[in-house]
């Protein structure tokens, strides 16, 4: 592990100096450790958006100078994203709202009758759009290792040969464990069996270079708000053929090339080919521009340098947690698995919501608790199997109360390019103190959230 002195500095992000109130009345610098949900904006993204904002204008629908400029910037942003993802010549970039939107778009665009394969460990955004679109989905059981994942996919694809078209959806980095999935190997196996692959890179793209060409995936989806660009845009990028053959995602202006009344009174529409087909309505030029700015900033900082820093913080975090016997880190692939800065855990004798609320109220540390929109995976990791009832446990009554009892939800800590080492150290110190001394305040359930009880 490199010494911290050899590492690059954290990238400047908004909110780094924000002070938040503690339940005691004191104020403390906020430790944002929930990057996996939404990362703070890079200062550079914010500055570039602010510099463009006075020139903001409509896109693809205006004769004025600012409309022309905005249209150019929007299309340039598309090219920046294509370079960032190392797309193939004839791939396309569609701007969407976020990963969920991208995957729903693709689910509606695949040829009718396409059979879909996905591990049950996926985020709901990768798990659910396919069945919602009326496609048949084979859900594969949680694997124990990357090798087993590859073998299980090969077996499933070999066993089920129905359907002319097949699609495999996989996440690059788990939003629960942070573990990396063997995307290139899975893609090789999928292609051998005639299945195309869509990569959910929501958690991968902020931490790793994603080369569509090298991974050989057919599509990739990610969200701007997890890539330091929280302006409401996301991306679906990849092969054009299925997208161009599909009905437009939304019907409306921008997607239609011509609309004409027929002699019988009906309306005939000719739809665009290319990204415009699935971008009906006025596009989110600020969102697209912000994503492009983030792509530029991350590429210039260099993923190698960013990863070296992140791996150092991961090492510090995992070593610190390993010294606390009451903490159990959740993992599918084991402690040696390669991961990004996302880690979930449970604390023996504690309700996870209670623990997370105390981290916020007593230490000014923002993490997430729950099942992280990956219910089957978290339930499996907690030892209850992928099924089971809703599991938001009561706050205030620490649960499980007995050593060894299983917790019903988990705590997730996540970080990235803007995280200073001090946040990890403060987090570890707070976990140690809560485990040894308990919470100093009383907590209660307010509308399903666990909060410090400040009533007198
Ligand atoms: N996929 C993964 C792995 C995620 O972690 C998330 C969000 O947490 C999503 C998809 C959905 O992203 P969004 O909420 O930006 O649509």
State the DSSP string of 388-425: -S---PPSSS-SS-STTPPPSSEEEEE--TT--HHHHH
Residue 31's H or E segment, with its range, is: strand 31-32
Section 243-259 average pLDDT: 96
Strand 365-366 and strand 410-414: pairing?
unpaired
Does the Cβ of 103 fall within 6 Å of ligand 1?
no
Tell me which of 390 and 318 has the higher pLDDT. Answer: 318
Q: Residue 389: what pLDDT?
A: 46
Write out the CATH class of domain 46-300. alpha beta
Collapsing DSSP to helix, strand or coil, 243 comes out as: helix
Section 46-57 average pLDDT: 98
Q: Measure the N-to-C terminal CA separation of the chain; round to a whole number of Å.
A: 50
Is it the case that residue 129 has pLDDT exceeding 50? yes
Q: Residue 393: what pLDDT?
A: 47
Q: What is the mean pLDDT of the chain?
A: 94
Q: Residue 2: what pLDDT?
A: 62
Is it the case that residue 275 has pLDDT exceeding 50? yes
- As a whole number of angstroms, the distance between CA 276 and CA 298 comes to 27
Peptide bond just before 400 cis, omega within 30 deg: yes
Confidence of residue 399 (pLDDT cuts 50, 70, 90): low
Section 73-102 average pLDDT: 98
- As a whole number of angstroms, the distance between CA 200 and CA 204 comes to 8
Among 118, 126, 128, 226, say which to mutate for ligand 1: greatest number of ligand atoms within 8 Å of CB: 226
Share in percent of the chain as helix, strand, coil (round to 5): 35, 20, 45
Q: Residue 456: what pLDDT?
A: 59
Q: What residues have CB less than 8 Å from 9, skipping those under 6 apart?
A: none
Contact 345, 407 (CB under 8 A): no
* Interval 154-208: pLDDT, tens: 999 999 888 799 999 999 999 999 999 999 999 999 999 999 999 999 999 999 9
Give alpha helix (H) positions in 216-365.
241-245, 285-301, 303-322, 352-363
Tokens of 347: 């604390």
Task: Let me know if the fold of 4-32+303-452 is the same as that of 46-300.
Answer: no
Tokens of 391: 């599991």
Does the Cβ of 236 fall within 6 Å of ligand 1?
no
Of 66-80, 280-294, 393-407, the poorest mean pLDDT is in: 393-407
Does the Cβ of 39 fall within 6 Å of ligand 1?
no
Active site members: 373
* Interval 359-394: pLDDT, tens: 999 999 999 999 999 999 999 999 877 665 444 445
Closest ligand 1 atom, residue 175 Cα: 5
- 409 C-alpha to center of ligand 1: Å? 18
Section 206-217 average pLDDT: 98
Q: Residue 384: what pLDDT?
A: 72
Section 7-22 average pLDDT: 97
pTM: predicted TM-score of the whole model, two decimal places: 0.95
- 125 C-alpha to center of ligand 1: Å? 6
- As a whole number of angstroms, the distance between CA 294 and CA 81 comes to 10
* Cα radius of gyration (the chain): 23
Of 310-319, 339-348, 407-416, the poorest mean pLDDT is in: 407-416
Contact 199, 251 (CB under 8 A): no
Tokens of 334: 């084991």
Does the Cβ of 126 fall within 6 Å of ligand 1?
yes
User: Exposure string (b/e) for 225-244, b if CB count within 10 Å is 16 or more?
Assistant: bbbbbbbebbbbbbbbebbb
Q: Residue 1: what pLDDT?
A: 59
Is it the case that residue 455 has pLDDT exceeding 90? no
Does the Cβ of 100 fall within 6 Å of ligand 1?
yes
Show me where the domains of the chain are located. Answer: 4-32+303-452, 46-300
Is it the case that residue 406 has pLDDT exceeding 80? no
Is it the case that residue 315 has pLDDT exceeding 80? yes
Q: Residue 408: what pLDDT?
A: 80
- The DSSP result for 69-101, as a single string, is HHHHHHHHHHHHHHHHTT--TT-EEEEESSHHH
Tell me which of 437 and 391 has the higher pLDDT. Answer: 437
Given its phi and psi angles, is residue 254 left (phi above 0), alpha (psi -120 to 50 degrees) or beta? left
Beta bridge partners of 410: 370
Is it the case that residue 89 has pLDDT exceeding 60? yes
Closest residue by Cα to residue 185 from 139, 144, 152, 219: 152
Correct CATH for 4-32+303-452 of 3.30.420.10, 3.40.30.120, 3.90.1150.10, 3.40.640.10: 3.90.1150.10
Q: Residue 390: what pLDDT?
A: 41
- The DSSP result for 246-294, as a single string, is SPPSS-STTTEEEEEE-TTS-EEEEEPSSGGGG--SS--HHHHHHHHHH
Of 25-29, 115-119, 295-299, 394-398, the poorest mean pLDDT is in: 394-398
Q: What angle do CA 39, 40, 45 make, to 5 degrees?
A: 110
Collapsing DSSP to helix, strand or coil, 168 comes out as: strand
Closest residue by Cα to residue 35 from 452, 392, 313: 313
Is it the case that residue 58 has pLDDT exceeding 50? yes
- 78 C-alpha to center of ligand 1: Å? 21
Contact 73, 52 (CB under 8 A): yes
Strand 267-271 and strand 256-261: pairing?
antiparallel
């Amino acid at each position: 592990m490199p010494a911290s002195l050899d590492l690059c500095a954290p990238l400047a992000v908004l909110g780094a100096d924000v002070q938040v109130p503690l339940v005691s009345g004191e104020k403390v610098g906020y430790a944002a450790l929930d990057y996996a949900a939404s990362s703070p904006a890079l200062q550079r993204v914010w500055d570039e958006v602010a510099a463009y904002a006075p020139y903001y204008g409509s896109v693809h629908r205006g004769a004025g100078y600012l409309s022309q400029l905005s249209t150019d910037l929007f299309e340039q942003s598309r090219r920046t994203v294509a370079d960032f993802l190392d797309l193939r010549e004839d791939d396309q970039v569609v701007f969407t709202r976020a990963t969920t939107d991208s995957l729903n778009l693709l689910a509606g665009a695949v040829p009718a009758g396409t059979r879909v394969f996905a591990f049950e460990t996926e985020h709901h955004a990768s798990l659910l759009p396919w069945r919602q679109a009326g496609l048949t989905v084979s859900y594969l059981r949680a694997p124990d290792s990357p090798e087993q994942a590859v073998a299980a996919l090969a077996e499933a694809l070999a066993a089920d040969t129905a359907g002319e078209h097949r699609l495999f959806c996989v996440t690059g980095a788990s939003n629960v464990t942070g573990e990396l999935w063997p995307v290139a190997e899975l893609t090789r196996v999928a292609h051998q069996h005639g299945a195309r692959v869509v990569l959910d890179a929501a958690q991968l793209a902020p931490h790793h270079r994603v080369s569509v060409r090298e991974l050989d995936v057919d599509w990739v989806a990610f969200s701007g708000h997890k890539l330091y660009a929280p302006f409401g845009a996301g991306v679906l990028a990849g092969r054009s053929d299925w997208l161009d053959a599909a009905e437009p995602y939304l019907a409306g202006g921008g997607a239609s090339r011509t609309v004409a009344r027929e002699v019988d009174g009906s309306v005939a529409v000719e739809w665009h080919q290319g990204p415009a087909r699935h971008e009906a309505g006025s596009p989110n030029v600020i969102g697209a521009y912000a994503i492009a700015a983030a792509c530029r900033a991350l590429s210039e900082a260099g993923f190698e340098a960013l990863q070296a820093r992140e791996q150092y913080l991961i090492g510090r975090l995992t070593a610190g947690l390993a010294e606390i016997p009451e903490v159990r880190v959740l993992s599918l692939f084991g402690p040696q698995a390669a991961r990004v800065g996302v880690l979930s855990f449970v604390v023996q004798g504690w309700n996870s919501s209670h623990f997370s609320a105390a981290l916020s109220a007593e230490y000014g540390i923002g993490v997430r608790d729950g099942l992280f929109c990956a219910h089957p995976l978290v339930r499996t990791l907690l030892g209850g199997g992928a099924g089971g009832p809703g599991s938001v446990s009561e706050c205030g009554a620490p649960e499980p109360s007995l050593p060894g009892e299983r917790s019903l939800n988990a705590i997730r800590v996540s970080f990235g390019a803007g995280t200073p080492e001090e946040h990890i150290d403060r987090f570890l110190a707070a976990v140690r103190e809560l485990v040894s001394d308990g919470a100093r305040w009383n907590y209660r359930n307010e509308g399903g959230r666990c909060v410090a009880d400040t009533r007198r």
